[in-house]
Amino acid sequence: MTDEAERELSNTLCVLQMQKFYIETVGCQMNVLDSELVHSGLVQSGLVPTTDRYNADVILFNTCSVRQHAEDKIYSALGRLKHWTMLKPYGVLGVIGCMAQKDQKTIFQRAPHVDLVLGPGQLELLPETVHQLLDEKLQRNYAGQQESGKKLLVSLKRQEHRHTEVAESFRLFDPVRNPEARLNRFQAMVRIMFGCDKFCTYCIVPSVRGPEQSRPPQEILEEIRALVGQGVVEITLIGQTVNSYRYSTGGKTTRLADLLYQASDIDGLRRLCFVTNYPRGMDNDLLQAVRDLPKVAKHLHIPAQSGSDTVLQRMKRNYTATDYRELVDRIYSTIPNVSITCDLIVGFCGETDEEFQQTVELVQYCRFKNSFIFKYSERPGTKSVKLYPDDVPESVKKIRNNVLLEIQDKIALEQNKRFIGTTVEILVEGITKQFNKQFETGNVQLSGRTSCDRIVVFDMPDNRSIGQFLKLNIYDAAPFTLFARLPEYSK
């Protein structure tokens, strides 16, 4: 290479130091946390975040495979970015997350302009891989070559290898965080376990997130302390089946309830939440910890998926509708003022009207604060594909979805109305989307959440209370919202 060419290359590399990245995240809280960690890793590696996708030099899609619809959206977004890769020959387009692990090489086939496919068990390698790709692309473009190398980094397939080998190939990645990467400075998530071993027949998660692995409690507690030191007041412990958390060392086993006690002792931490629970394993010691520890949020998210024993059997959920009802009874009788939320799937293979009706009855019995209702979406590679036809027509799934939503909304409204006239404490989270209100009334509309995860909106002259705890009087209710005023304005 001539001196001049070397100078030109080094100038371009200097510009690369300030290259920008953009991450688009879909899916569950696990993905939101992964994106935050990737954001931190990329910033530490010298890249700069941008919220403008088209201005970015590195675009990453953090993807979800739980339902077909989520994947379709990503493939069409990738298709729309074809012109971006032509405009930015040095740019890197990457697909990370569950779809990367599930589809692997297929992503390069369906979207040949994608440079990087990296699964959720390989995030640690992301910053160096992105830099390698940026450097390679620059070198190739400099040399006048069109094609650049592609990188595929995924974990081992569960069906094809031994359990320990697969677990090792899903590397845990929970580095020190950059507070700028979070949505706000006062709330943070902490992963306590990775993967899932439940293998519900409809679910892709055990394949794409790998075997259950719990993090050592000391590491979790240190991470919480560090976050609280950065000003975090609310921590959410996350895991695909968070109540399966179990870490044994030196003859001592730590479970989720133990972690709640230990984390509650951390000064400065005000609220502790945890998601998502599996109905089995909601032991009394866990419920008592939720009841007895004032910092622990009085809200439990426990997916039931169906209210029919036969459907639950086909789903391989390992409990009956009666077991679930008994669990709900036990929760309501143990923890005062607790709220329960649920995930439900309608139109699972072979679901009859009677079976669906049993789900309706479960919802009516359990009085959930709210339910996330999904139409069954067949996932290639899951057990249900091999065992049962996806035979409930889309139109029936849609009707069942709407019927259940309507019933759930009615219950949510009834529950929320019980709060009218009471005083609640909330953590103020941010400004609502009603910007115009400020011009009409001079106030901003803020929103926050109670310990039982109810959204509360209220007006304030300014937004200085964001990130603080406030006591408010509730004067009205809608299915998803409570309306409140400061006590001094309530008389």
Residues near ligand 5AD, by CB under 6 A: 66-67, 202-203, 303, 305, 343, 345, 374, 376-377, 379
Q: Does 199 contact ligand SF4 by CB under 6 A?
A: yes
Closest CB to ligand SF4 among 19 and 240? Answer: 240
Binder of ligand SF4 out of 26, 196, 312, 466 (CB under 6 A): 196
Closest to 154 in 3D by CA, of 71, 213, 95, 92: 95
Residue 239 as a binder of ligand SF4 (CB under 6 A): the answer is: no
CA 485 to CA 324: how far, in whole Å? 37
Q: Which is nearer to ligand SF4, 151 or 198 (CB)?
A: 198
CB of 58 to ligand SF4, least distance (A): 30
Residue with Cβ nearer ligand 5AD (169 or 384): 384
Question: How near is the Cβ of 109 to ligand 5AD at its closest, in Å?
Answer: 23
Q: At its nearest, how many Å lie between ligand 5AD and the CB of residue 206?
A: 11
Three-state secondary-structure class, residue 447: strand
Applying CB under 6 A, the span of 195-203, 219-227, 355-363, 400-408 interacting with ligand SF4 comes to: 195-203
Residue 161: burial class (beta carbons within 10 Å; 0-12, 13-18, 19+):
middle
Tokens of 150: 């592609």
What is the C-alpha to C-alpha distance for residues 488 and 278, in angstroms, rounded to an integer?
A: 42
Nearer to ligand 5AD (CB atom), residue 155 or residue 277: 277
Closest CA to 271 of 233, 224, 242: 233
Using CB distances below 5 to 8 A depending on partner kind, what does residue 374 bind out of ligand SF4, ligand 5AD, none? ligand 5AD
Does residue number 240 form part of the binding site for ligand SF4 (CB under 6 A)? yes
Q: Which of 146, 237, 156 is nearest to 190 (CA)?
A: 237
- Does residue 241 interact with ligand SF4 by CB under 6 A? yes
Examine residue 203 and tell whether it contacts ligand SF4 (CB under 6 A).
yes
Query: By three-state DSSP, how is residue 82 classified?
Result: helix
CB 320 within 8 A of CB 308: no
State which of positions 266-305 bind ligand SF4 (CB under 6 A): 278
Instruction: Please give the Cα distance from 75 to 111 (Å, whole number).
Output: 8
Q: Return the amino acid letter for 214.
A: S
By CB under 6 A, tell whether 206 contacts ligand SF4. Answer: yes
Question: Does the protein bind ligand SF4 through residue 118 (CB under 6 A)?
Answer: no
345 binds, among ligand SF4, ligand 5AD, none (CB under 5 to 8 A by kind): ligand 5AD
Round to whole Å and give the CA distance between 464 and 87.
43
Cα 365 to chain centroid, rounded: 28
Q: Report the C-alpha gap between 63 and 74 in whole angstroms.
A: 7
Among 42, 200, 312, 424, the residue binding ligand SF4 under the rule CB under 6 A is 200
Interacting partner of 376 out of ligand SF4, ligand 5AD, none (Cβ under 5 to 8 A depending on kind): ligand 5AD
Using the rule CB under 6 A, is 205 a contact of ligand SF4? Answer: yes
From the CB of 113, what's the least distance to ligand 5AD, in Å?
A: 29
What dihedral angle (degrees, nearest 10) is formed by the CA atoms of 333, 335, 338, 340? -60
> Considering beta carbons, is residue 323 or 343 the nearer one to ligand 5AD?
343
Q: Which of 20, 157, 171, 198 binds ligand SF4 (CB under 6 A)?
A: 198
Query: d(Cα 110, Cα 352) in Å, to the nearest integer?
Result: 36
Beta strands 469-477 and 423-431: pairing type?
A: antiparallel
* Residue numbers at the binding site for ligand SF4 (CB under 6 A): 196, 198-200, 203, 205-206, 240-241, 278
